[in-house]
């Protein structure tokens, strides 16, 4: 019996806070149904909720997600990490299964900053000899 489990997941500049409670499988993201939130890319929703599908616990819990920052990919990956962390708090025996799929590993890759004297982070202005 779970009253409430709250975990945080991060990816790029996105931060997701997931609250896992007993329920029937309802998922709301920022107060909207998950299908509506990821309306234009249903594959991102499937990837974000993949820890529930992997452990076959999707219809046992309700999820309330608050996600801020970044884009669709970063937000989806942040949600995936937070859900995986919540499931490991619920049941420690799920950790090896989720860890094998790299759902508990923080992806530290960030956008490289723009440097002065260049148009972008690595791109250089065109050089002319004469």
> CATH number of the domain that 76 lies in?
3.30.230.10
Q: Is residue 40 part of a domain?
A: yes
Q: Is residue 124 part of a domain?
A: no
Q: Is residue 106 part of a domain?
A: no
Q: Is residue 87 part of a domain?
A: yes
Question: What total of structural domains would you count in the chain?
Answer: 1
35 class by beta-carbon count within 10 Å (0-12 exposed, 13-18 middle, 19+ buried)? exposed
Q: Is residue 58 part of a domain?
A: yes
pLDDT digit string (tens) for 58-96? 899 999 999 999 999 999 999 999 999 999 999 999 999
Q: Is residue 89 part of a domain?
A: yes
Q: What are φ and ψ of residue 19, in 5° steps?
A: -115, 115
Helix (H, G, I), strand (E, B) or coil at 31: coil
How many Cβ atoms are within 10 Å of 128's Cβ, its own excluded? 5
Which range of residues forms the domain containing residue 23? 5-100
pLDDT digit string (tens) for 14-28? 999 999 999 999 999
Q: Is residue 91 part of a domain?
A: yes
How many Cβ atoms are within 10 Å of 62's Cβ, its own excluded? 14
pTM: 0.91
pLDDT digit string (tens) for 33-68? 999 999 888 999 999 999 999 999 989 999 999 999
Q: Is residue 36 part of a domain?
A: yes
């Amino acid at each position: 019996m779970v009253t409430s489990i709250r975990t945080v997941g991060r990816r790029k500049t996105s931060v997701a806070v997931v609250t896992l409670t007993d329920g029937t499988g309802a998922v709301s993201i920022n107060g909207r149904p998950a299908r509506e939130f990821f309306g234009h890319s249903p594959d991102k929703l499937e990837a974000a909720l993949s820890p529930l599908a992997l452990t076959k616990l999707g219809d046992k819990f309700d999820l309330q997600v608050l996600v801020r920052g970044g884009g669709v990919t970063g937000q989806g990956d942040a949600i995936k990490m937070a859900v995986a962390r919540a499931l490991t708090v619920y049941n420690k025996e799920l950790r090896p299964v989720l860890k094998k799929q790299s759902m508990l590993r923080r992806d530290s890759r960030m956008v490289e900053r723009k440097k002065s004297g260049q148009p972008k982070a690595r791109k250089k202005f065109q050089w002319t000899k004469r």
